[in-house]
Amino acid sequence: MNLREYQTTLINEVRQAYIDGFKRPCVVLPCGGGKSIAVADMAKRTTDKGNRVLFIVHRKELCDQIEETFRAYGVDMKLCRIGMVQTITRRLKKMKDPQLIITDENHHCLAQSYKRIYEYYPNAKCVGVTATPCRLNGGGLGDVNDKLIIGVSAKYLIQNNFLASYDYYAPSVADLTGLHVKVGEYVTKEIEEKLIKKSIFGDVIGYYRQLADGKQAICYCASISHSEQMAANFKEAGISAAHIDGSTLKVERHRIIKEFKSGMIKILCNVDLISEGFDVPDCEAAILLRPTKSLTLYIQQSMRCMRYKPGKKAVIIDHVGNYARFGLPDQDREWTLEAKKKGAKKEENEVKVRQCPECFYTHEPAPICPKCGFEYPIASRTLEEIREAKLELINEIVLDFETADDCHTMGELVAFAKKKGYKPGYAFMQAKRRGII
């Protein structure tokens, strides 16, 4: 467990932040960047001096794996307490004062339960770690954190073989227009009704065979019922699969994870369990069947298959258009502790791309596809040809556009028309008018 250079830099920046008078810095590092090792080093340095550490998590499933990492790193666990935020808040009066409080998945820190802990130990230094320092409601973390320490980017991790590169595909399997939002997220029951259909299960399995056949994949579903049925349908199609959720017995969960690790199980279906911090064996593909408004959830789920292995190319199959809301998983983003201003104009996408109708590769404008050599015809394609080009490999930034004029490719126009509920011919006519096809 040797520290990487960029992890050492982050730890030094945290130390300097305390010297400069800050008390609650937030460290930002992409999924797969090794946040758990970095905080294990901070915890060890603290307990080596005889000081106490309190490590806060938000789900019980994370406690055991964090403790295992800390013990392996040499943290003195007699001086380190790892616990769920709900448990810690109930036992504050019974605990000895920590000198350092570490908050896992720090984007949760604005919740009152976290704030009660910070306020109860006013003399403790705090540090939080997260890949996405933002809240679902657009709230900034400045009410808790006083310093943002930003590590290397996801692109850096891919370029330096700390994460695997990936191909991103977005074949749509259901019309998700009209979904309502409640407490900042899509209504689960409505998603379920859209996605639990025999034809959709068939499409998902078909695209898996086409794009990731034989690869071990984690499938993110809309609900427990949806996940259970998805696993059943994969098995019915002759592909080994299993479902797990938070209520799955620990012994059963360990058995399923072990069989997934060995390759006996190819598809592991779940809802949100295998997201924030939950450790699973290496996989090569992620199947997204859960539309979300949460950038955090999207990044954690889509990047779950990107653990590095020599020669590996991960495959992300996004059936619910999450990329259209957030861009690609490794997109560079501007982070701030300030809250998002209401009514702020969304970032415009200036990148023009072209999508090959033969191999579905997306690239900068060129007369010939650099992936398969397809020569684009000068004449416009017919509407029927466009309708048949359902599958696209997404490898450029695609955002949730406000108007059709913000769209630069046929795929973006199709996504925009779908979002607005326009007729099928709308995207074609807009593309023809603007010379995209």
What is the DSSP track for 181-220? EETTEE-HHHHHHHH--HHHHHHHHHHHHHHHTT--EEEE
Which residue, 53, 281, 20, 24, is CA-closest to 129?
24
Which residues pair with residue 372 across a beta bridge?
none
pLDDT one-digit tens code per residue, 97-112: 999 999 999 998 989 9
Packing angle, helices 5-19 and 35-48, rounded to 10:
50
The 3-class SS string of 267-309 reads: EEEECCCCCCCCCCCCCCEEEECCCCCCHHHHHHHHHHHCECC
Ranges 117-126, 267-276, 347-356, 388-397, most confident:
117-126
Answer with the residue of higher pLDDT: 136 or 268.
Answer: 268
pTM over 0.95: no
Arithmetic mean of pLDDT, 110-127: 95
Q: Is the dihedral of CA 141, 145, 147, 149 positive or negative?
A: negative
H runs (alpha helix) in 280-382:
295-302, 322-326
Question: What digits encode the pLDDT tens for the residues 185-211?
Answer: 999 999 999 999 888 988 999 999 999
Report pLDDT for 351: 35
Largest CA distance in the chain: 76
**pLDDT score of 334 more than 80:** yes
CA-to-CA distance for 174 and 186, rounded, in angstroms? 15
Chain mean pLDDT for the chain: 85
**Cα–Cα distance measured from residue 388 to residue 183, given in angstroms and rounded to the nearest whole number:** 37
* Order of strands, sheet of 53-57, starting from the edge strand that comes earlier in the sequence: 80-84, 53-57, 100-103, 125-130, 25-28, 147-150
Mean pLDDT, range 29-42, rounded to an integer = 95
Mean pLDDT of 236-240: 97
Return the pLDDT at 279: 61
Residue 153: is its pLDDT beyond 80?
Answer: yes
> Ramachandran region of residue 10, left (φ > 0), alpha (ψ -120 to 50) or beta?
alpha
Q: What are phi and psi of 249, to 5 degrees?
A: -55, 145
Q: 250: buried, middle or exposed (CB in 10 Å: 19+, 13-18, 0-12)?
A: exposed
Give me the domains of the chain, ranges plus CATH numbers: 5-152 (3.40.50.300), 165-326 (3.40.50.300), 354-433 (no CATH)
Q: Residue 107, Cβ neighbours under 10 Å: how many?
A: 24
How many angstroms separate the CA atoms of 378 and 376, rounded? 6
Residue with tokens 């048949």: 388
- Judged by average pLDDT, the poorest of 234-243, 248-257, 405-414 is 405-414
What's phi and psi for 62, nearest 5 deg? -85, -20
Confidence of residue 350 (pLDDT cuts 50, 70, 90): very low
